[in-house]
């Protein structure tokens, strides 16, 4: 049986009188691609932010490899091998594509002090080049990230999340705003990342076809609560899901 | 002529001018050139804090003052120059680190106000704590340094001393901003949330940006005291912090050579405009206003934009030529 990498236990997040996430629990198994779907405003991104320490949960726990990592800072979570992308593009526009990738990996090399006296690229240029090739961004390696098209920036954003060789990556709407050609490319690269490198994903996405094709399991949220969990086929057939989300 | 040849020729001319021009200047001219070198170091520190790491600070003038007073007080007490210099750097680094803590909570204009309050507080200490700073009477009676039997007493000698210090500070800054720390500082400025999610300890880098930038201010102040050979609170009001901020922004915030240009405009330009007599400050103010309206990214920012526009035009021409070729096929 596949090992459990992360356990999310009863996460609740309140903003004043509003409960954005209401006692959501699920587990992430090593090597799987888990989808999280739900209508707009159902708490998906808030849930991500609670898991990754961007927001402190009001209640609940996040266990990583059996350790309680609830409330750890995002940088500490990242150094424990949990990486993420954001709903809105988050690259560093003034840095080149290669520099973005080196930055994404450098904090995993030695300590802050040894990095200062180490090589300028923290010894990451070969890894960055490999990632550039993997995401087929070779012709853009020296370009400033801010000058790339939206789809290319999405690819870079995803590549950055993989740069430090994470055990698990949380992707927040990776397909959002990406044209069909680029989407196919992104999907194919993510799948390759999963099969060739054994990367585990949790994917928030609105594009149902994308989720159903890519994910091995799906968790469905509605109004902050988990209403279903299962394989894509099971979820698609679930009446509560049809009523709350798919039926609309 | 290729771009690199032009740049190299320009560089050699500038270095030559910095070495030989002061030999032709009078005492006051040499003083102004020394002041330019010292203010460049202070602006370079602020450029690290603000330009690279994106942390607003209106306190750089206070750190210049802290450095100057540390050296003046210790040298008056009989210490030589080098130990007070070291102590000035250590003190301003530590105080800068502490001033960085509010930056972990507040940003932008709120942070500007916190640093402004600090700046005012430091000025009040300089003015009111007479037992230590001699208040408005100031501290005098300390000499310029010497090293390895070489004296830097004469204005031209001290100018070369400050130029050497500027070279050292520049080498340090070039090394720092090209290191992984430099990349992390830029990440902190451009997108702290994303930086955090990539494992960048934004808290430590914020504090470091403040501490190192402030220590550069302290270093600059430690050179200012022996330049003037008299230290009183007047030069270290908020006006100095604002002037340093202007130097960084006008030169090009986040560009390595921005502070050099900015300090030239902040220190040298008013002197060059003195031919206009009573009008020179008005002309200077108008010049700076027009410059900032036309080039909000600073002088180096507009040069970079021009280069980018040229590249874009060349790429568009290449695309057009390629598509014309395809049409023929």
pLDDT above 70 for B116: yes
Residue range of the domain that includes A196: 4-246
A86-90, A120-124, A151-155, B11-15: range with lowest mean pLDDT = A86-90
Residue B156 lies in a domain: yes
Task: Spell out the residues 6+ positions from residue B22 whose beta carbon is closer than 8 angstroms to its own.
Answer: B29, B30, B33, B156, B159
- Residue among A81, A90, A127, A163 with most chain B CBs within 10 A, to mutate: A90
A167-176, B37-46, B167-176: range with lowest mean pLDDT = A167-176
CA angle centred on A98, ends A124 and B7, rounded to 5°: 110
Reference A211, options A240, A244, A171; nearest CA is: A171
Taking residues B96-107, report their average pLDDT. 92
Q: Residue B98 in 3-state DSSP? A: helix
Taking residues A73-82, report their average pLDDT. 93
The pLDDT, as a whole number, for residue A124 is 95
Domains identified in chain A, total number: 1
Residue B282 lies in a domain: yes
Residue range of the domain that includes B242: 32-294
* Share of residues in chain A with pLDDT > 90 (%): 65
pLDDT above 70 for A246: no
Task: Spell out the residues 6+ positions from residue B105 whose beta carbon is closer than 8 angstroms to its own.
Answer: none
pLDDT, mean over chain A: 91
Residue B315 lies in a domain: no
Domains identified in chain B, total number: 1
Residue B300 lies in a domain: no
For A114-155, write each residue's pLDDT tens digit: 999 999 999 999 999 999 998 889 999 999 999 898 888 988
Which of B176, B180, B186 faces A95 most closely, judged by CB atoms? B186
Residue B224 lies in a domain: yes
Residue B1 lies in a domain: no
CATH number of the domain bearing residue A130:
3.40.50.300
- Residue among A85, A87, A112, A125 with most chain B CBs within 10 A, to mutate: A112
Tally of CA atoms within 13 A in the half-sphere of B280 that contains its CB: 12
For A221-234, write each residue's pLDDT tens digit: 999 999 999 999 99
For B20-60, write each residue's pLDDT tens digit: 999 999 999 999 999 999 999 999 999 999 999 999 999 99
Q: Please list every residue in chain B whose beta carbon sits closer than 8 Å to the beta carbon of residue A83.
A: 197-198
Cα dist from A73 to A12, A87, B203, whole Å: 18, 19, 11
The phi, psi pair for B83, rounded to 5°, reads: -65, -50
Reference A70, options A49, A46, A85; nearest CA is: A49
Contact B59, B115 (CB under 8 A): yes
Residues of A with CB under 8 A from a CB of B: 52, 54, 73-75, 78-79, 83-84, 86, 90-95, 99, 102-104, 106-109, 112, 115-116, 118, 120-122, 160, 163-164
Confidence tier at A197 by pLDDT (50, 70, 90) = confident
């Amino acid at each position: 049986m596949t090992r459990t990498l992360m356990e999310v236990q009863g996460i609740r997040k309140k903003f004043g009188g509003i409960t954005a996430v209401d006692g959501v629990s699920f587990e992430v198994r090593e090597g799987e691609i888990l989808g999280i779907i739900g209508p707009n405003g159902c708490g998906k991104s808030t849930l991500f932010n609670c898991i990754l320490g961007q927001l402190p949960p009001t209640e609940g726990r996040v266990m990583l490899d059996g350790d309680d990592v609830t409330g750890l800072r995002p940088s500490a979570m990242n150094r424990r091998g949990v990486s993420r992308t954001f709903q809105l593009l988050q690259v560093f526009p003034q840095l080149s594509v290669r520099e973005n990738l080196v930055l994404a990996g450098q904090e995993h090399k030695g300590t802050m002090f040894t990095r200062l006296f180490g090589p300028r690229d923290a010894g990451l240029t070969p890894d960055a080049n490999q990632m550039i090739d993997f995401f087929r961004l070779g012709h853009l390696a020296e370009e400033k990230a801010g000058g790339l098209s939206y789809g290319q920036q999405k690819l870079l954003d995803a590549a950055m999340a993989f740069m430090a060789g994470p055990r698990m990556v949380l992707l927040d709407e990776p397909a959002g705003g990406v044209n069909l050609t680029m989407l196919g490319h992104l999907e194919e690269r993510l799948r390759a990342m999963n099969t060739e490198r054994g990367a585990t994903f949790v994917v928030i996405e609105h594009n149902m076809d994308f989720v159903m094709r890519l994910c091995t399991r799906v968790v469905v949220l509605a109004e902050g609560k988990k209403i279903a969990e299962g394989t894509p086929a099971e979820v698609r057939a679930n009446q509560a899901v049809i009523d709350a989300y798919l039926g609309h | 002529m290729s771009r690199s040849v032009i740049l190299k020729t320009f560089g050699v001319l500038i270095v030559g001018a910095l070495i030989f021009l002061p030999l032709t200047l009078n005492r006051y001219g040499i003083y102004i050139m020394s002041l330019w070198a010292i203010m460049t170091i202070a602006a370079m520190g602020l450029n690290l804090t603000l330009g690279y790491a994106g942390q607003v600070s209106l306190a750089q003038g206070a750190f210049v003052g802290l450095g100057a007073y540390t050296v003046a007080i210790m040298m008056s007490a009989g210490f030589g120059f080098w130990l007070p210099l070291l102590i000035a750097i250590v003190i301003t680094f530590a105080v800068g680190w502490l001033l960085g803590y509010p930056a972990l909570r507040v940003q932008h204009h709120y942070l500007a106000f916190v640093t402004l309050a600090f700046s005012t507080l430091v000025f009040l200490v300089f003015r009111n704590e007479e037992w230590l700073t001699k208040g408005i009477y100031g501290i005098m009676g300390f000499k310029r340094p010497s090293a390895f039997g070489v004296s830097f007493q004469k204005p031209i000698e001290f100018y070369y001393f400050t130029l050497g210090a500027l070279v050292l500070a520049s080498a340090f800054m070039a090394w720092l901003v090209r290191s992984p720390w430099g990349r992390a500082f830029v990440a902190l400025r451009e997108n702290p949330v994303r930086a955090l999610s990539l494992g960048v300890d934004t808290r430590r880098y914020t504090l470091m940006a403040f501490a190192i930038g402030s220590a550069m201010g302290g270093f600059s102040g430690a050179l200012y005291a022996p330049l003037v050979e008299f230290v009183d609170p007047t030069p270290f009001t908020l006006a100095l912090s604002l002037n340093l901020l202007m130097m960084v922004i006008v030169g090009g915030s986040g560009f390595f050579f921005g502070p050099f240009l900015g300090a030239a405009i902040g220190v040298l330009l008013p002197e060059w405009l003195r031919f206009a007599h009573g009008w020179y400050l008005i002309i200077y103010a108008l010049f700076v206003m027009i410059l900032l309206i036309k080039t909000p990214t600073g002088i180096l920012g507009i040069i970079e934009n021009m280069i980018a526009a040229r590249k874009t035009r060349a790429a568009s021409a290449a695309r057009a030529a390629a598509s014309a070729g395809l049409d023929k096929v």
